Amino acid sequence: MAEVRQSAGMKPYVVVWIGLILIVAIEVLLTYQHLPAGRLLASLLVLAFLGAGLGVMYFMHLRYERASLFWSLIPYLIFALVMMDHVWPDALRLMHQRLGAGGP
Protein backbone atom coordinates (compact mmCIF):
# COMPACT_ATOMS: atom_id res chain seq x y z
CA MET A 1 0.00 0.00 0.00
CA ALA A 2 2.86 2.38 0.87
CA GLU A 3 4.57 1.54 -2.42
CA VAL A 4 1.39 2.42 -4.34
CA ARG A 5 1.21 5.74 -2.55
CA GLN A 6 4.86 6.56 -3.30
CA SER A 7 4.53 5.74 -7.00
CA ALA A 8 1.52 8.05 -7.36
CA GLY A 9 3.70 11.10 -6.63
CA MET A 10 2.36 14.32 -5.21
CA LYS A 11 -0.37 14.67 -7.84
CA PRO A 12 -3.26 13.24 -5.77
CA TYR A 13 -2.38 15.57 -2.90
CA VAL A 14 -2.15 18.60 -5.16
CA VAL A 15 -5.61 17.71 -6.50
CA VAL A 16 -6.95 17.50 -2.94
CA TRP A 17 -5.29 20.84 -2.12
CA ILE A 18 -6.95 22.47 -5.15
CA GLY A 19 -10.26 20.98 -4.01
CA LEU A 20 -9.83 22.49 -0.55
CA ILE A 21 -8.99 25.90 -2.00
CA LEU A 22 -12.10 25.68 -4.20
CA ILE A 23 -14.19 24.83 -1.14
CA VAL A 24 -12.92 27.98 0.59
CA ALA A 25 -13.70 30.03 -2.52
CA ILE A 26 -17.24 28.63 -2.72
CA GLU A 27 -17.77 29.39 0.96
CA VAL A 28 -16.78 33.02 0.44
CA LEU A 29 -19.00 33.32 -2.65
CA LEU A 30 -21.98 31.85 -0.81
CA THR A 31 -21.46 34.28 2.06
CA TYR A 32 -22.04 37.26 -0.24
CA GLN A 33 -25.15 35.82 -1.91
CA HIS A 34 -27.40 37.16 0.89
CA LEU A 35 -28.79 33.74 1.72
CA PRO A 36 -30.98 33.23 4.78
CA ALA A 37 -28.81 32.58 7.82
CA GLY A 38 -29.97 28.99 8.28
CA ARG A 39 -29.33 28.07 4.66
CA LEU A 40 -25.93 29.75 4.68
CA LEU A 41 -24.96 27.94 7.87
CA ALA A 42 -26.04 24.57 6.51
CA SER A 43 -24.15 25.16 3.26
CA LEU A 44 -20.98 26.23 5.07
CA LEU A 45 -21.14 23.23 7.39
CA VAL A 46 -21.58 20.79 4.52
CA LEU A 47 -18.61 22.32 2.72
CA ALA A 48 -16.52 22.34 5.91
CA PHE A 49 -17.22 18.67 6.58
CA LEU A 50 -16.45 17.86 2.94
CA GLY A 51 -13.11 19.65 3.21
CA ALA A 52 -12.31 18.04 6.54
CA GLY A 53 -13.18 14.62 5.11
CA LEU A 54 -10.83 15.15 2.17
CA GLY A 55 -8.06 16.22 4.52
CA VAL A 56 -8.55 13.32 6.89
CA MET A 57 -8.77 10.67 4.19
CA TYR A 58 -5.92 11.90 1.97
CA PHE A 59 -3.60 14.27 3.81
CA MET A 60 -3.84 12.24 7.01
CA HIS A 61 -3.83 8.99 5.01
CA LEU A 62 -6.74 7.45 6.87
CA ARG A 63 -7.98 6.09 3.58
CA TYR A 64 -4.84 3.97 3.27
CA GLU A 65 -4.86 2.65 6.83
CA ARG A 66 -6.65 -0.46 7.99
CA ALA A 67 -10.42 -0.15 8.12
CA SER A 68 -10.31 -1.08 11.81
CA LEU A 69 -8.50 2.18 12.57
CA PHE A 70 -11.17 4.21 10.78
CA TRP A 71 -14.03 2.40 12.53
CA SER A 72 -12.31 2.73 15.91
CA LEU A 73 -11.86 6.50 15.64
CA ILE A 74 -14.44 8.21 13.48
CA PRO A 75 -17.78 6.81 14.75
CA TYR A 76 -16.91 7.87 18.31
CA LEU A 77 -16.21 11.42 17.17
CA ILE A 78 -19.42 11.59 15.15
CA PHE A 79 -21.36 10.25 18.15
CA ALA A 80 -19.82 12.91 20.42
CA LEU A 81 -20.66 15.69 17.95
CA VAL A 82 -24.22 14.42 17.53
CA MET A 83 -24.69 14.33 21.32
CA MET A 84 -23.60 17.99 21.48
CA ASP A 85 -26.60 18.85 19.31
CA HIS A 86 -28.79 18.47 22.40
CA VAL A 87 -28.02 22.12 23.23
CA TRP A 88 -30.10 23.53 20.37
CA PRO A 89 -33.58 23.28 21.93
CA ASP A 90 -32.35 25.32 24.91
CA ALA A 91 -30.65 27.86 22.67
CA LEU A 92 -33.84 28.29 20.65
CA ARG A 93 -35.84 28.63 23.87
CA LEU A 94 -33.57 31.42 25.04
CA MET A 95 -33.80 33.10 21.64
CA HIS A 96 -37.55 33.53 22.11
CA GLN A 97 -37.39 34.33 25.82
CA ARG A 98 -37.50 37.95 26.88
CA LEU A 99 -36.99 39.14 30.44
CA GLY A 100 -38.96 42.22 31.61
CA ALA A 101 -37.10 45.48 32.27
CA GLY A 102 -37.86 45.16 36.02
CA GLY A 103 -36.64 41.59 36.13
CA PRO A 104 -37.38 39.04 38.87
Residue 37 vs 101, nearer CB to other proteins: 37
CB atoms under 10 Å from CB of 72, counted, come to 10
Return d(Cα 23, Cα 46) in angstroms, integer. 10
Residue 84 vs 102, nearer CB to other proteins: 84
Closest approach of Cβ 94 to other proteins, in Å? 4
Residue 89 vs 103, nearer CB to other proteins: 89
**Residues near other proteins, by CB under 8 A:** 2, 5-6, 10, 13-14, 17, 20-21, 23-24, 27-28, 31-32, 37, 40-41, 44-45, 47-48, 51-52, 55-56, 59-60, 65-66, 68-69, 72-73, 76-77, 80-81, 84-85, 87-88, 90-92, 94-95
Burial, 2: exposed, middle or buried (Cβ in 10 Å; 0-12, 13-18, 19+)?
exposed
b/e burial code for range 8-26 (CB count within 10 A of at least 16 → b): eeeeeeeebeeebeebeee
Closest approach of Cβ 81 to other proteins, in Å? 5
Instruction: Give residue 78's Cα distance to chain centre.
Output: 11
